[in-house]
C-alpha cells in the first residue's frame, strides 16, 4: 500500500500540484468510511469509475460520491460505443494504482468530470491506496487531468 501512496506523493511534488494527501489507519473504501476518516461531509467526495472502450482506452468518469456513472452517457459524450467497467486488474495496469485508491489524475486516460463535481470548491479523491485520500481544488483537478466537464451520472 505504501508504494502507491508514495508514488502519488512524488507525482504531486514533481508536478507542483497544490493538493493535500492524507493517510489513515482505517480504509476509506466507501464514501461513509472516507467521510468519517477525513472528518468531512460525504458531499465532499468523488469516485473515479474506470471504464474501457472497445479500443482498449481507459476512460475515467468522475462523479460525486453519492452518484453513479452511466456508461451510456459516457458513450454519448465521446461519441463511441458504450464502454465497460474495468476489472481491478485492468485498473492497476492502466492507472498504476489499486482499485479503491485511484486518484482523479496522474495517469493516461480520458477524464470526464460530471458538472455536479465542479459545483464545489474542493473534493477528496483517491490518495493512492484504500487507506489514503487527496484533497484538491476542483479547478486544479480539471487543469491537471484536462477533464471534459460533461454529464456522466445516471
In the predicted model, what is the mean pLDDT of residues 124-142? 96
8 A C-beta contact, residue 152 and residue 47: no
Q: Report the mean per-residue pLDDT for the chain.
A: 95
pLDDT, tens digit (0-9, with 9 covering 90-100), for 56-104: 999 999 999 999 999 999 999 999 999 999 999 999 999 999 999 999 9
Coil/strand/helix, residue 137: strand
Q: Kindly give, in sequence order, each residue whose CB lies less than 8 Å from that of residue 16, ignoring residues fewer than 6 positions away.
A: none
If you write DSSP's letter for every residue of 94-145 in order, what string do you get?
Answer: HHSS-TT---SSSSS-EEEE-TTGGGSSEEEEE-SSTTEEEEEEHHHHHHHH
pLDDT at 22 over 90: yes
Using a pLDDT cut of 90, give the percent of the chain over it: 88
What is the per-residue pLDDT for 34? 86
pLDDT at 137 over 90: yes
The reported pTM is: 0.95
Q: In the block, which residue shows the cell 476512460? A: 59
What is the per-residue pLDDT for 1? 77
Poorest-confidence range of 9-18, 36-45, 133-142?
Answer: 36-45
CATH number belonging to domain 2-149? 3.90.960.10
Each domain of the chain, given as residue ranges in start order, spans 2-149
Amino acid at each position: 500500500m505504501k508504494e502507491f501512496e508514495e508514488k502519488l506523493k512524488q507525482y504531486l511534488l514533481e508536478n507542483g500540484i497544490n493538493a493535500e494527501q492524507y493517510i489513515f489507519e482505517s480504509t476509506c473504501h466507501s464514501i461513509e468510511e472516507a467521510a468519517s476518516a477525513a472528518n468531512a461531509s460525504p458531499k465532499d467526495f468523488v469516485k473515479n469509475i474506470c471504464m474501457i472502450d472497445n479500443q482498449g482506452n481507459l476512460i475515467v468518469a468522475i462523479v460525486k460520491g453519492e452518484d453513479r456513472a452511466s456508461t451510456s452517457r459516457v458513450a454519448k459524450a465521446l461519441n463511441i460505443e458504450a464502454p465497460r467497467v474495468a476489472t481491478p486488474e485492468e485498473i492497476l495496469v492502466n492507472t498504476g494504482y489499486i482499485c479503491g485508491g485511484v486518484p482523479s489524475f496522474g495517469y493516461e486516460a480520458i477524464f470526464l468530470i460530471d458538472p455536479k463535481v465542479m459545483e464545489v470548491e474542493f473534493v477528496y479523491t483517491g490518495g493512492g491506496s484504500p487507506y489514503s485520500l487527496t484533497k484538491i481544488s476542483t479547478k486544479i483537478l480539471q487543469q491537471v487531468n484536462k477533464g471534459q466537464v460533461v454529464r456522466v451520472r445516471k
